[in-house]
């Protein structure tokens, strides 16, 4: 007999894909702590590290490839009622190119959702997506709502893959209206355990930015990203949700908070000379990352709070500061010194204006 999970009911058997990686593994660890869930099944092609496996506790690990039709046995044989799909790659894997990335992302999701559609026990599907699907351009609104689409088609491979995957999820929801299918569009994720991913951009004493632009950044702390996945797995009515921390941070403010000196350059130089000067990580920046530093992206999170009923613990600024703290960067200068100097200068200017009047 299959599970009787509905949008607001606690799941009985949860399966999480991508369990050997950061998001999947940490989601498994959190879900395994919930005694209201009978079983948690962690799935990946790679075995989790010993430390991650320890934190997964009572969760059962199954080495399986979601691109293989045998994944049907894992879902049907265990009467899985909730599937959390976290096995998406934001860049090609080591030793693999774009074709490998697309195969893992798009074909893997297609096979997984086809199995979910045919499995009577499945009642809930949660998919980790990205705000990168909105693209980045000068024509963007101040904040994207979930109904909006990109003003300019995203050029990044990850964003294009996620647009296809979201299409599969919506198709699943149409064919199986009894399944609560949720898409979580995460803002760029930062935190101390993810510090190595983008810290090279702020490693140099002088950080290039785009001349004439000051991108507004909206971020999500790594802990909130995991918490949002777990929350949606436990209870969600289905639908698409922007997920991001409160507030925003301009790129110039981010550079200053990291204790760096900003060097505005034309975008053509930012793409070329800037990437060459800023170390291996920036040289490997994807097109969507470069566009993000150019234009930024704002998200309307009203639906996240009212319908998903999820509230991040960390604001954008707090998430960024924790990310910088985890990166252990030594400031080139104390940001407070610049703030004090600016305030003093403004005071002198104000005094001068008063004297003239």
Of residues 313 and 275, more confidently modeled:
313
For residues 65-80, one letter each, b for 16 or more C-beta atoms within 10 angstroms of the residue's C-beta and e for the rest, the string is bbbeeebbebbbeebb
Q: Is residue 346 part of a domain?
A: no
Q: Is residue 351 part of a domain?
A: no
Number of domains in the chain: 1
User: What's 325's domain CATH number?
Assistant: 3.40.50.720
In the chain, the percentage of residues whose pLDDT exceeds 70 is 82
Q: What is the mean pLDDT of the chain?
A: 86
Question: pLDDT digits over 280-320, tens only?
Answer: 546 666 777 778 888 899 999 999 999 999 999 999 999 99
Residue span of the structural domain in which 117 resides: 13-337
Is residue 221 pLDDT above 90, yes or no?
yes
Is residue 257 pLDDT above 80, yes or no?
yes
Query: How much is the average pLDDT of 223-234?
Result: 96
Instruction: Name the pLDDT band for 3 (thresholds 50, 70, 90).
Output: very low
Q: Is residue 184 part of a domain?
A: yes
Query: How much is the average pLDDT of 171-191?
Result: 95
Q: Is residue 7 part of a domain?
A: no
Query: How much is the average pLDDT of 244-252?
Result: 94
Q: Is residue 3 part of a domain?
A: no
Report pLDDT for 267.
82
Query: How much is the average pLDDT of 154-174?
Result: 94
Q: Is residue 55 part of a domain?
A: yes
Please give the Cα distance from 184 to 162 (Å, whole number): 11
Please give the Cα distance from 130 to 86 (Å, whole number): 11
- Non-local (6+) Cβ contacts of 37 within 8 A are 10, 11, 12, 13, 14, 31, 234
Q: Are 13 and 39 in contact (CB under 8 A)?
A: yes
Q: Is residue 1 part of a domain?
A: no
Report pLDDT for 93.
82
Question: pLDDT digits over 16-73, tens only?
Answer: 999 999 999 999 999 999 999 999 999 999 999 999 999 999 999 999 999 998 899 9
Q: Is residue 5 part of a domain?
A: no
Is residue 204 pLDDT above 80, yes or no?
no
β-pairing, 13-17 vs 82-85, is parallel
Query: How much is the average pLDDT of 159-184?
Result: 96
Report pLDDT for 225.
96
Torsion of CA 197, 202, 208, 209, to 10 degrees: 70
């Amino acid at each position: 007999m299959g599970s009787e999970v509905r949008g607001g009911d606690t799941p009985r058997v949860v399966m999480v894909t991508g369990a050997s990686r950061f998001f999947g593994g940490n989601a498994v660890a959190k879900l395994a702590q919930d005694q209201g869930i009978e079983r948690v099944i962690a799935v990946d092609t790679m075995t989790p590290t010993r430390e991650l496996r320890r934190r997964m506790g009572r969760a059962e690990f199954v080495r399986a490839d979601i691109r293989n039709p045998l994944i049907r046995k894992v879902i049907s044989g265990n009467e899985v009622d909730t599937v959390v799909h976290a096995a998406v790659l934001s860049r090609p894997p080591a030793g693999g190119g774009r074709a490998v990335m697309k195969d893992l992302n798009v074909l893997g999701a297609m096979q997984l959702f086809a199995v979910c559609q045919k499995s009577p026990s499945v009642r809930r599907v949660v998919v980790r997506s990205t705000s990168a699907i909105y693209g980045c351009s000068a024509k963007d609104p101040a904040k994207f709502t979930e109904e909006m689409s990109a003003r300019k088609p995203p050029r990044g491979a990850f964003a294009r893959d996620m647009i296809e995957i979201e299409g599969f999820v919506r198709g699943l929801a149409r064919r199986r209206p009894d399944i609560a299918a949720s898409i979580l569009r995460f803002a760029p994720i930062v935190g101390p355990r993810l510090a190595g991913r983008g810290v090279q951009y702020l490693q140099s004493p002088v950080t290039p930015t785009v001349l004439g632009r000051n991108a507004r950044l909206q971020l999500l702390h790594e802990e909130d990203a995991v918490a949002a996945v777990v929350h949606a797995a436990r209870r969600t009515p289905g639908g698409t949700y922007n997920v991001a921390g409160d507030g925003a941070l301009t790129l110039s403010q981010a550079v200053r908070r990291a204790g760096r000196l900003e060097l505005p350059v034309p975008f053509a130089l930012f793409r070329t000379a800037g990437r060459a000067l800023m170390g291996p990580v920036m040289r490997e920046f994807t097109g969507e990352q470069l566009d993000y530093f150019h234009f930024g992206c704002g998200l309307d999170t009203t639906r996240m709070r009212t319908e998903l009923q999820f509230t991040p613990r960390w604001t954008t600024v707090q998430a960024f500061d924790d990310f910088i703290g985890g990166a252990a960067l030594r400031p080139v200068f104390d940001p407070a010194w610049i703030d004090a100097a600016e305030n003093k200068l403004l005071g002198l200017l104000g005094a001068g204006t008063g004297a003239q009047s």
